[in-house]
Structure 1
Amino acid sequence: MRGWVVRWLANIIAIIITAAIVPGFEVTVTGAIIGSVFLGIVNAIIRPVIIVLTLPINILTLGLFTLVINGLMLWLTASVIKGFDVSGFWAAVLSALIISVVSAVLSWVVKDQHEQ
């Protein structure tokens, strides 16, 4: 349970950091918290279906189409959650990429600190 909470907090921080970096991506703290939960649900339920449906395109692009899918999932989250705003498709793709990288780094740092 503790690992899940740490990853969730890392995702919230990653969303807030990304909003500070990427023009066209804006969140409130409440939007980041609720958006993180909703994005997690979307990534767990909808994203796998989209990945399977777009498998031929993903194979042709050597997996790069996954970035587009991640952007679409972020854009979907922004369309549902108030206080979680993405101004365009490419802002969503860039934001999704940065959120993934920052979240992975934060999770790795926290994991290393927890193991020591």
Structure 2
Amino acid sequence: MRFIIEILLTGLAFFIGASFLVPGVHIDSYGSAIIASVLIALANATIGFILRLLTFPINFLTLGLVSFIITVLMVLLVDNMMTSFNTSGFISAAFLAIIVALLKAIFNAIAGEKE
């Protein structure tokens, strides 16, 4: 159940971030935001994981900056896969990644961690 709630909140974060906070990003609907967030999570779990393993020494030296760049590249990959999710380039995708991470942190702080 927690997994489904996490997906819905991530979709909400994408929809809010894209619709209101980040210029240059457009998502057609909340359903498209959920699909985009799931695809980005899958891309990060597969391709992103492999890229993070290959770039670990550089990632270590840059204190995680390369990991953030990989996440932005996964957002751009999903942008190319979907017609209902559009970004205007790397900078808007980077701002979207930052806003979504901040919104997810706020949602998790409000919901609280249950163990």
TM range (shorter): 0.7 to 0.9
Shift of 1:7: 0.4
2: distance between equivalents of 1:82 and 1:33? 14
CA deviation string 1:36-60 (max 9, x = no partner): 2211211221111111111122122
**What stretches of structure 1 move > 3 A for 4+ residues in a row?**
none
Q: Distance in 2 between matches of 1:107 and 1:7?
A: 9
- Residue 69 of structure 2: aligned partner: 68
| Secondary structure in 1 matching 2:112 | helix
Structure 1 residue 31: Cα displacement: 1.9
Instruction: Name the structure 1 match of 2:79.
Output: 78
Unmatched runs of 5 consecutive residues or more in structure 2: none
1:3 aligns with 2:2: yes
The unaligned stretches of length 5 or more in structure 1 are none
Structure 1 distance, partners of 2:46, 2:93, is 19
Alignment deviations for residues 62-106 of structure 1 (CA, whole Å, 9 cap, x no partner): 112221111111111111012111110111111111111211221
2:24 paired residue number: 24
Q: Report the count of equivalent residues.
A: 112
TM-score, structure 1 normalization: 0.87
TM-superposed deviation, 1:15:
0.2
Superposition pairs of residues 82-101 of structure 1, within 5 angstroms: 82-101=83-102
Aligned equivalents of 1:15 and 1:108: distance in 2? 17
